[in-house]
Structure 1
Amino acid sequence: MAIPPTTDIAHVIELTLNVNGSPHRCVLDTRTTLLDALREHLHLTGTKKGCNFGECGACTVHLDGQRVNACMVLAAQADGRAVTTIEGLSQGETLHPMQQAFIDCDAFQCGFCTPGQIMSAVCCVREGHTKSDADIREWMSGNLCRCSSYPQIVEAVKAGASAPNGGQ
């Protein structure tokens, strides 16, 4: 594996990112975030770079089944762990129930935040935080929508939660 050209050899790590069920051997600068590894090295661009400060949730992925902001996790921290991105939710051409719920409820406008919203919504369901609209709003509050599609997002989370395997 080639060392990235702008990287000092002292800042290089070889690791395996297990993304969407497939292992990927990578040689990365030790300071590379999981977000940048996914987007720039594995070319999985569904995970969006919004604020790059962990404030907007656009980069939400699952790390060992837990939602995390990929911009706040070093790729080295994900070495050997299970990472799921928006690309890994569907089963071939069959959308995940939460992806379908976001379409059915028209829970997006520009769509930039949608991958992070969906990834967070799946965990929200899995964590059992869908008992009320207020619970959903609270537990989804780490994901911002510039277009203010929040009412439709709440409806989509409820629809996804009621679907078989909505939190899986």
Structure 2
Amino acid sequence: MSERHLIVLNVNGTEYEAVVEPRKTLLDVLRHDLGLTGTHVGCEHGVCGACTVLVDDAPVRACLMFAVQAEGSDIRTVESLATNRALSDLQEAFSANHALQCGFCTPGFLMLAEGFLAERPDADREEIREAVSANLCRCTGYQTIVDAISTTAARRRAACPHPEKEATTP
């Protein structure tokens, strides 16, 4: 009989308890135990990026991380982006720039972009293109995805032109 562990996960600002086998992936816990199905199951080998979530603000392939490894971390899934039934600025930009077609890869790209823009708010188009090359899309050809992320980055910079100064203001 397999050993099981009680873990506590902080997902999208809510604390969840789950009893899991040590080998159960974060992806499986999110989808099957917590009912957060926005994170998609793709290749299950860490290649496609459809399962990308943020763990402590860093993009992570949920299919490659065991749930027990995520205990104590802050986890964000695509469900965290829209608030009060309103799309986030990044989701709006994906829609406005036609950066999705079938939509299967979109949650992974959104979470990859959120993590990337948090770390690199001043990224140029080439840096954005390099970042999104980590995920696979079979429909859009990436140009519209780069457009959407670039648009979001520019709007966020305009809204908060000097984030380092605001961070140090008491």
* 8 Å contact kept, 1:18–1:82: yes
User: How many residue pairs were aligned?
Assistant: 158
The equivalent of 2:18 in structure 1 is 26
1:130 to partner: Cα distance = 5.4
| 2:37 is the counterpart of 1:57 | no
The equivalent of 2:106 in structure 1 is 114
The equivalent of 2:85 in structure 1 is 93
| 2:153 is the counterpart of 1:158 | no
Task: Give, in whole Å, the separation in 1 of the partners of 2:45 and 2:131.
Answer: 19
The equivalent of 1:3 in structure 2 is none
- Aligned residues with identical type, % of pairs: 43
The equivalent of 1:5 in structure 2 is none
Q: Mind listing any 5+ residue stretches in structure 2 that lack a counterpart?
A: 160-170
Task: Give, in whole Å, the separation in 2 of the partners of 1:149 and 1:44.
Answer: 28
Task: Give, in whole Å, the separation in 1 of the partners of 2:45 and 2:32.
Answer: 18
* 8 Å contact kept, 1:108–1:149: no
The equivalent of 1:131 in structure 2 is 123
* 8 Å contact kept, 1:12–1:30: yes
The equivalent of 1:105 in structure 2 is 97
- 1:139-158 correspondence runs (5 A): 139-158=131-150
4+ runs deviating over 6 angstroms: none
* 8 Å contact kept, 2:99–2:140: no
Of residues 29, 32, 55, the one that matches 1:40 is 32
Matched residue of 2:63: which SS?
helix
Q: Mind listing any 5+ residue stretches in structure 1 that lack a counterpart?
A: 1-7
> Residue 120 and residue 48 in structure 1: after superposition, are their counterparts in 2 closer, same or farther (change >3 A)?
same
* 8 Å contact kept, 2:55–2:73: yes
Task: Give, in whole Å, the separation in 1 of the partners of 2:29 and 2:104.
Answer: 19
Task: Give, in whole Å, the separation in 1 of the partners of 2:41 and 2:20.
Answer: 19
Matched residue of 2:31: which SS?
helix
Aligned-pair RMSD on alpha carbons? 1.6
1:162 to partner: Cα distance = 1.9
